[in-house]
Amino acid sequence: MEVTRVALLQLELKDSPDDAMAHALRLLQQVGAANSEIVCLPEQWYPKPLESIDELKPIQDMAKQYKMVVIAGAFFEHLYETNDESSNSSSDAESSVYISAPVIGPDGNIIDRQLKLHPFGRELGLVRAGRRIRIFEYNGVRFGIGICHDVVFPEVARLAVKNGADMLFFPSKIVNEGLEPWHIYVKARALENRVPVVAPNLCSKEYGGMSMIVDLAYNESLDIVLPYVVTASAGEHVLISDIDLELSRRVRRLRMMELRDDYMV
Considering the domain boundaries, does residue 265 fall inside one?
no
pLDDT (0 to 100) of residue 2: 83
| pLDDT in the model for residue 80 | 83
User: Is residue 263 one of the residues assigned to a domain?
Assistant: no
Q: Is the pLDDT of residue 91 over 60?
A: no
- Asked if residue 69 belongs to a domain, the reply is yes
Query: Is residue 197 assigned to a domain?
Result: yes
Torsion of CA 241, 247, 251, 253, to 10 degrees: 110
Task: State which residues form the domain around 212.
Answer: 3-258
Whole-structure pTM value: 0.95
* Residue 211: pLDDT over 90: yes
Question: Which CATH number do you get for residue 186?
Answer: 3.60.110.10
**Helices (H), ranges, the chain:** 17-33, 57-66, 154-162, 179-193, 245-258
Kindly state whether residue 56 falls inside one of the protein's structural domains. Answer: yes
Cα separations in angstroms, 30 against 110, 138, 211, 254? 21, 21, 17, 37
Q: Is residue 45 part of a domain?
A: yes
User: Does 264 reside within a domain?
Assistant: no
Residue 12 lies in a domain: yes
What's the domain count of the chain?
1
Taking 60 as the threshold, does the pLDDT of residue 90 lie above it? no
Q: Report the range out of 22-26, 91-95, 218-222 with the highest average pLDDT.
A: 22-26
| pLDDT digits 0-9 by tens, 120-179 | 999 999 999 999 999 999 999 999 999 999 999 999 999 999 999 999 999 999 999 999
Which pLDDT tens digit goes with each residue over 26-76?
Answer: 999 999 999 999 999 999 999 999 999 999 999 999 999 999 999 999 999
Phi-psi region of 54 (alpha: psi -120 to 50; beta: other; left: phi over 0): alpha
Cα(202)–Cα(152) distance, rounded to whole angstroms?
18
